Chain A
Amino acid sequence: MIKKFKDLNYYELLKIPYNASSFEIRQAYKHILAIYEESSLATYSLFAENERKLILSKIENAFLTLIDDKKRKNYDNNLVSTGEVSDNILTEKDKKKAIPIFQTSRARANNNSLARIKKKIQENKVADLATNMLKHDHISGKDLRNLRESLGIELEEIFQATKISPTTLVAIEKDDVVNLPPKIYLISFLKSYAEALQLDPKQVVDGYIKNIAY
C-alpha cells in the first residue's frame, strides 16, 4: 500500500537509502528543506501554519537523528523491532559500510594519475604561489583551486588520483560547508588532496579547517 506522508519513516521522508552516507543525508536535508520551508513557493498555499511546523520539526528530527551515528543506530534498531524494516537491511548496511561511499583508501588511488600530476607540478613554476599560500594560517577552497588551476590540473585528475568524488571536491573548493563531508572524512580528503598537489598535508588541513571554522 502507498504510504501516507505522515507515516513515512525518516529514510523515506528524506528519500534516502537505508545505507545513506552522511553526505547523502546532508544533501537530502537541504533538498527537502527547500520544499517545506516557509518561503517555498511549492508549498506556499498547501499547509496551515501548525501543519508546516509539524512537518518541519519532523524533518529536523530526521536529520538530527540520522546524522548522529549513535542516534541513528537506535532508530534503526527501533525500525527493525517494530517490523517496519527487516533486519537484513541493517546487515546489508553494515556490509556497505565496509566500503564507505567516500573512498578513503589511498592504496586504491590511481598511480598513473598521480604520476601525471607530479609531472605537471615539475613542469610548472608555481612554487611561489604554493609557498605563499602555505604562509597564511587560513587556507580556503579557493586557494586550493587557484593552485590546482595554475598547475593546469583538472578536477577530474584529482578525482582519479585520490578517488575523492567530484561533488566532494567541488564542495571543498567552494568552501560549501553544508555539502562538506563529516570532519573525519574531510580531514582525510584534504590530506589526499594536499598530497596529490605535493603540499604539506598538515598545513593544508589545519589552514582549511581554521578557515571554515569547524
Chain B
Amino acid sequence: MRRIYSIGGGKGGSGKSFIAASLGILLAKHGKRVVLVDLDLGASNLHTLLGQRIPEKGLDVYIDKRASSLEEVALSTTIPNLYLISSTKCSLEIANIFYAQKLKIINAIKNLPFDYILLDLGPGTNFNTLDFFLIAPEGLFVTTPEPTAIENTFIFMKSVYLRKLKLSLKEANMWHICQEEITKLSRGALKSPLDLISILVARDPEKGRIFEDLLSDLEFRLILNKFRGQVNENLGEQLVEVCNRHLYPSFDFLGNISYDNRVYESIIARNIFIAKYPYTKTVSDLQNMVRDLTGEKQEPVRVRAQR
C-alpha cells in the first residue's frame, strides 16, 4: 500500500529536510521502496543531506514536459531502494507556478509507484507550500523546543486547516458563505478552525457536518526535533494536547529527536549522519519513528480531545 507523508512546520531550520532524508533512508533500509520529493522550490537541498552534488535532473524536467512521467525524474541514490525527485533546477519563479501546473504535479506525486512517498516542504505558509502539504492525508509537523519555532508551527497548522477548508468550500460552491470570517481568521491571532465549523453548522447544519468530517480526515503527528536534556520531557505531549484542544482533534505525538552536533558536521563533510553515526540517540529516536510509521510498534494509546 502506498503511503504519503508531508513533512512541514513553518520555520526554516527546524530540521524538516534532515528528518525527511533520515526517515527515507531508514525506510529504504527496511526494504521499502521510497521516494523523497523535494518541494522546497527555490531553496531545495535534500540532495545535500543525502551526501550528493546537485542532481542533473528533477521536477523541472517534468514541468517542462521533457519527461513523460514524474517517475522518470526520480533519481536513484547511494542507498538502495531510495530515490530522490529534486527541484534544484526549479528557478525561484517556479515557486509561483501556475495553478494548472501545480495540480498536475500534485496528481503525479499522488500516483508515484512507491511504497513510501515523503514530501519535504519549505518554510512559510504560502499557498503552494500549503497545497503541497495537503497532498498527503497524513502530515508530520516538525518543530524544535524554541518558542519561535513552536509559534510558527502553530501558525502553519492553522493555515493548513484554513487552506483545506477554503479549497473544499470553493469546490462545494460555498466559499461565499464564510469568506469574510475565514479571511479574518487567517489574519488574526490563532483561532481554532472549530470556530469556522461552528459558523458553518449554524448556517447549514447538514453541510457544516460534512466539512467537520472533511477536516477530521486529516491525520497529523508532531515531531519535536533538536531535543535536549534540559527541555521539559512532556513538552511534545503537551503541545499535542494543545493542538487537539485549540486547533482540531487530529494530532498524535510521534516523538522527540535528540540534538546532536555531529548532524551539522556530517552535512558539511557530505556524510550521511545516520550512516556514519548509527549508534547515537538521534538515530535510535529516528528508528523508533520508523517503527511507528510502519506499524511495527504497538499502537500507542491515542491522546485526543473528547468529541
Residues of chain A touching chain B, judged by Cβ–Cβ distance below 8 Å, are 1-5, 8, 12, 15, 34-35, 40-46, 48
Contact = CB atoms under 8 A, between A and B. Distances in A.
Interface string B160-202: 0000000000000000000000000000011010110110010
Contacts of A1: 197-198, 201, 209, 212
A2 B249 contact: yes
Given A41-B150, A41-B235, A44-B151, 15 more contacts: A1-B197, A2-B212, A4-B192, A4-B194, A4-B195, A12-B306, A34-B234, A34-B238, A35-B242, A41-B238, A42-B241, A44-B150, A45-B147, A45-B148, A46-B242
25 contacts: A1-B212, A2-B194, A2-B197, A2-B212, A2-B216, A2-B249, A2-B305, A3-B306, A3-B307, A4-B195, A5-B246, A8-B306, A34-B234, A35-B242, A40-B238, A41-B147, A42-B150, A42-B239, A44-B147, A45-B148, A45-B154, A46-B190, A46-B242, A46-B246, A48-B189
Contacts of B241: 35, 42
B245 interface: yes
Contacts of A43: 242
A40 B151 CA distance: 13
B3 to A, nearest CB: 26
Interface in B238-265: 238-239, 241-242, 245-246, 248-249
A8 to B, nearest CB: 8
The 10 closest A-B pairs by CB, nearest first: A45-B151, A42-B238, A44-B147, A35-B238, A4-B194, A42-B239, A12-B306, A5-B245, A42-B242, A2-B307
B113 interface: no
Nearest to A13: B245
B78 interface: no
A137 B249 CA distance: 52
B12 interface: no
Nearest to A40: B238
Candidate in B192, B239, B242 with the most chain A CB atoms within 10 angstroms: B242
A5 B147 contact: no
Contacts of B151: 44-45
Nearest to A51: B189
Interface range, B side: 20 to 34
Contact of B306 (A15, A34, A46): A15
Nearest to A32: B241
A13 to B, nearest CB: 9
B232 interface: yes
A45 B157 CA distance: 14
B145 interface: yes
Contact of B235 (A15, A42, A48): A42
Contacts of B245: 5
Contacts of A44: 147, 150-151
Contacts of A2: 194, 197, 212, 216, 248-249, 305, 307
Interface in B206-249: 209, 212, 216, 232, 234-235, 238-239, 241-242, 245-246, 248-249
A152 to B, nearest CB: 32
Contacts of B212: 1-2
Contacts of B190: 46
Given A1-B201, A46-B154, A41 B209 contact: no
A43 to B, nearest CB: 6
Contacts of B148: 45
A40 B192 CA distance: 20
A40 B194 CA distance: 24
A15 B249 CA distance: 14
A67 to B, nearest CB: 21
Contacts of B242: 35, 42-43, 46
A34 B235 CA distance: 10
A179 to B, nearest CB: 16
A120 to B, nearest CB: 36
Interface string B291-307: 00000000000000111
Contacts of B145: 41
Contacts of A42: 150, 235, 238-239, 241-242
